[in-house]
Amino acid sequence: MKRILITGAAGFLGSHLCDRFIKEGFHVIAMDNLITGDLKNIEHLFKLENFEYYHHDVTKFVHVPGKLDYILHFASPASPIDYLKIPIQTLKVGALGTHNLLGLAKEKNARILIASTSEIYGDPLVHPQTEEYYGNVNTIGPRGVYDEAKRFQESITMAYHRFHGLETRIVRIFNTYGPRMRLNDGRVIPAFMGQALRGEDLTVFGDGSQTRSFCYVDDEIEGIYRLLMSDYELPVNIGNPHEITIRDFAEEIIKLTGTTQKVIYKDLPQDDPMQRQPDISKAKEILGWEPKVGREEGMRKTFEYFKTLSQEELERTEHRDFTQRNKK
210 binds ligand UDP, rule: CB under 6 A: yes
Does residue 203 interact with ligand UDP by CB under 6 A?
Answer: yes
Q: How far is the CB of 163 from ligand UDP (least distance, A)?
A: 32
> In whole angstroms, how close is the CB of 193 to ligand UDP at the nearest point?
10
Cα–Cα distance measured from residue 231 to residue 14, given in angstroms and rounded to the nearest whole number: 22
Choosing from 53, 70, 83, 146, which is the catalytic residue? 146
Name the residue nearer to ligand UDP (CB basis): 70 or 192.
192
- Binding range to ligand UDP, per CB under 6 A, among 66-74, 182-190, 286-294, 305-313: 182-190
Q: Which is nearer to ligand UDP, 51 or 121 (CB)?
A: 121
At closest approach, how far in Å is the CB of 40 from ligand UDP?
Answer: 22
Is residue 128 within 8 A of residue 278, CB to CB? The reply is yes
Out of 19, 38, 272, 290, the only residue in the binding site for ligand UDP (CB under 6 A) is 272
Q: For ligand UDP, which is the closer residue by CB, 169 or 187?
A: 187
- Whose CA is closest to 306, among 314, 298, 315? 314
205 binds ligand UDP (CB under 6 A): yes
Residue of the chain from 111, 150, 187, 295 that contacts ligand UDP (CB under 6 A): 187
Min dist CB 187 to ligand UDP, Å, is 3
In the complex with ligand UDP, the residue whose CB is nearer, 100 or 184, is: 184
Should residue 246 be labelled a site residue for ligand UDP when binding is judged by CB under 6 A?
A: yes
x/- mask, ligand UDP, residues 212-241, rule CB under 6 A, reads x-----------------------------
145 makes contact with ligand UDP (CB under 6 A): no
DSSP-assigned beta bridge partners for residue 237:
172
**SS3 string of the chain?**
CCEEEEECCCCHHHHHHHHHHHHCCCEEEEEECCCCCCHHHCHHHCCCCCEEEEECCCCCCCCCCCCCCEEEECCCCCCHHHHHHCHHHHHHHHHHHHHHHHHHHHHHCCEEEEEEEHHHHECCCCCCECCCCCCECCCCCCCHHHHHHHHHHHHHHHHHHHHHCCCEEEEEECCEECCCCCCCCCCHHHHHHHHHHHCCCEEEECCCCCEEECEEHHHHHHHHHHHHHCCCCCCEEECCCCEEEHHHHHHHHHHHHCCCCCEEEECCCCCCCCCCCECCHHHHHHHCCCCCCCHHHHHHHHHHHHHCCCHHHHHHCCCCCCHHHHCC
Please name which of 26, 13, 74 lies closest in space to residue 221, comparing C-alpha atoms: 13
* Residue 232 annotated among the catalytic residues of the structure: no
Q: Which stretch binds ligand UDP (CB under 6 A): 11-19, 43-51, 180-188, 281-289?
A: 180-188
Nearer to ligand UDP, 106 or 127 (CB): 127
- Sole binder of ligand UDP in the list 15, 90, 175, 184 (CB under 6 A): 175
Q: Which amino acid is at 58?
A: V
Query: Which residues ranging from 8 to 67 are in contact with ligand UDP (CB under 6 A)?
Result: none
Q: Minimum distance from CB of 83 to ligand UDP (Å)? A: 9
What's the CA gap between 94 and 141, in Å, rounded?
Answer: 17
Which residue's CB is nearer to ligand UDP, number 25 or number 199? 199
Q: Which residues does the annotation mark as catalytic? A: 146
Binding region for ligand UDP (CB under 6 A): 79-80, 175, 186-188, 191, 203-205, 210, 212, 246, 269, 272
